[in-house]
Each structure stands twice: as C-alpha cells, then as structure tokens.
Amino acid sequence: MSEALDNEVGKAGLMVPLDLGAKGSCHIGGNVATNAGGLRLLRYGSLHGSVLGLEAVLADGTVLDCLTALKKDNTGYDIKQLFIGSEGTLGIITKVAIACPTRPKSINLALLAVPSFEGVINVFGKAKENLGEILSSCEFMDNQSMDCVTGNLNLRSPLSSSSFYMLIETSGSNTEHDEEKLQHFLDSMLSNGMVTDGTVASAPSKQREVWQLRERLAESLLVDGYCYKYDISLPLAVFYQAVIHMRERLGSSVVRCVGYGHVGDGNLHLNVTTKQYSQEVMDLIEPFLYEWTAKYRGSISAEHGLGFKKRNYIGFSKSQAAVNIMHSIKQVFDPQGILNPYKVLPDK
C-alpha cells in the first residue's frame, strides 16, 4: 500500500517521505501508528514531522477529526501526535494528511567497504560535511550481515571482502552535479584510506541490486532458522559495541550475531540466529541487552515499537513518571482497554 501511494503521488512529481523494506505490503495507517522510520529518515525526518493531520476512530466510536493540512497550527495541544507511534492503543487511524516532498530528479547510490566501525563513523561525518544538501540515506552492514545475505539468498556483492559496508545515497535535482559530487567523495575516501573499495550506481536497475543487499537482510536471517530481532538506538560512540558484547556473551550457542541499520540516525538492528528457538539463548539476550542499552541512555525500541514482547521492558527507556502519564492517557481514550490490548503499556 505504501508503495502504491508513492506511485500515485509520483504522478504529481512528489514522493512519500518514507521508504521501508516492507513497502510492498505495509499500510500507511500502520506506518503512522508505529511511527515507522525507514531508510531515509536522515533526509526527511520521522512521521512526527511529516504528518500534518489525521482522522482516528476512538474506542467509543467517536470520529476524531484532526485532519488539517496546515504546516503551522498552534491552537492548543497537538493531539494528532498522540496517535503517531501509539501502535493502535488510543484509536484507529482512518485518514492521514502527509507532507510529500518533491521527487528528486537525480538519485545516486554508493556501496563502500570500510575496514573498521570507527571508519564508518568517520565516513558518515565526511558524508554529512561534503554531501550535506543531497545526502538522503546512510546505512551500514557488518561482514556477517553481508555473508548472510549473499550466502543465504545467493545475492552478489560487487565489492571485495571487508569488515563493514556502507550504503550512501544522494538525492538531488542536478544529475551531472550530483554524480560528480558523489564520485569525488568516493575518490577522496579511497585516497585517504578511509574506504578500501567502492562503487557508484546511477542506473535504477543497478541501484535496486545494491539495495537488495540491505533490504533483504531480514529475509536472509530467517534461512538460518530462528531469528531474535532487536531494534535499538545508541550514541554512535558505543553503537557497535553492543554487537561485540553480545557476540562475546553468546559465543558458539548461536549461528550468528549481526549488526546493521541506520547509522545516519543511530538506529542499530541487532539480530541473532539459532537453528531453532532456544530459551537458553533468549535468557542470555534479555534483559542483558536492554540493561546495556539503558546504561548508555539508548532506546530499547528505536522504530519498531514495543508491542506485546517489549511492553514490560519500557522502564529501560522511559521514567516511571512518563509511564504513569501514558497509563493516564490510555485511560482517557480507551477506559475499557479494548484497543490493541496488552500492547505498549506495561502491567501495572
């Protein structure tokens, strides 16, 4: 549905400011309800900024009309924001007004091989400095992620083996200028040794091939057997240490422990696989990973929401005062607890 919507607004030269691996099957109402992040949050921000207004049906059947299309409206509380990321616990979103940016005329994509995670951070910094106005996405994968997606799905990486990989995308309006700028950036990174190998894809078909290496990672992990999925955000200074610590902790009890995600906005996808579900492995992961994340004031759920499984761990990211307010808001909107029960909020 999200992909269909993007195709529709594309007829007017616009685009939906949200791009997900599940864009072919997800619905925009669900995207808003979970505040989905996606691949281009670095450029276009979260749905908290893109959603101008919405309509929602409350638990008692009331149709709440906050469907303004104004970019500025300071008349009282911004009620629509309560529904963005509420995971359907406060109301069912039925209509949405979204600010759609102009569709870029020039899109270029670079796949880079980087020898260390410190190098990944440095390359990201240089990308912001040198590609600022056209930088639209900055993703990273570690070598085990690349091994998984190429080995389990028979995809091919155009680069030589490396400890880390980065995908840097630019979106602009001047094809010649943008291609030249990205190529100059790549040449500079190669010449100073920050990048050991790299390629730039300008043709849409080649870009789709490169993006598959990142977008189909979740699919490839399932080939291993069972996948324990974690979606956390951390300061970049300790970002990849979470993966290193988990690998040391889990050892040979798992098939693999990988790290990939949106380095551009500090969002790490830490995934662990075993041939079949193991409670012993689960006990090694939780709550240790949440405790470790909380120690650095990170978020235990960066973009995928709390749902049922994480709701009782909310205290690792939110204060008790904040959780109490959430319970109060839930009581106002849904006193009988009929909307998506047992989700988001912890047991009292």
Give the per-residue pLDDT at 28. Answer: 86
Structure-derived torsion over alpha carbons of residues 79, 80, 84, 86, reported in degrees to the nearest 10: 50
Final residue in a domain of this structure, among 98, 127, 157: 98
Separation CA 187–CA 238 (nearest Å)? 28
Separation CA 254–CA 284 (nearest Å)? 11
Same domain flag for 213 and 127 = yes
Residue 35 covered by a domain:
yes
Domain count for the chain: 3
Give the per-residue pLDDT at 152. Answer: 98
Residue 329 covered by a domain:
no
Residue 334 covered by a domain:
no
Same domain flag for 258 and 287 = yes
Domain that holds residue 13: 2-98
Same domain flag for 241 and 296 = yes
Same domain flag for 190 and 241 = no
Separation CA 66–CA 84 (nearest Å)? 12
Same domain flag for 77 and 153 = no
Q: What is the CATH number of the domain that holds 114?
A: 3.30.70.2190
Residue 7 covered by a domain:
yes
Task: Tell me how crowded residue 70 is: count the other CB atoms within 10 A of its CB.
Answer: 9
Residue 271 covered by a domain:
yes
Same domain flag for 123 and 200 = yes
Instruction: State the pTM of this model.
Output: 0.91
Give the per-residue pLDDT at 348. Answer: 76
Residue 68 covered by a domain:
yes
Same domain flag for 160 and 117 = yes
Residue 266 covered by a domain:
yes
Final residue in a domain of this structure, among 190, 217, 244: 217
Task: Tell me how crowded residue 205 is: count the other CB atoms within 10 A of its CB.
Answer: 7
Final residue in a domain of this structure, among 178, 199, 217: 217
Residue 323 covered by a domain:
no
Give the per-residue pLDDT at 304. Answer: 84
Same domain flag for 114 and 208 = yes
Same domain flag for 113 and 195 = yes
Same domain flag for 207 and 275 = no
Q: What is the CATH number of the domain that holds 264?
A: 3.30.70.2740
pLDDT along the chain (348 residues), means of 10: 80 87 77 88 90 96 95 93 96 95 94 97 96 94 98 96 97 91 94 95 94 96 97 94 97 97 93 97 97 96 90 95 96 95 91
Q: What is the CATH number of the domain that holds 87?
A: 3.30.465.10
Same domain flag for 42 and 71 = yes
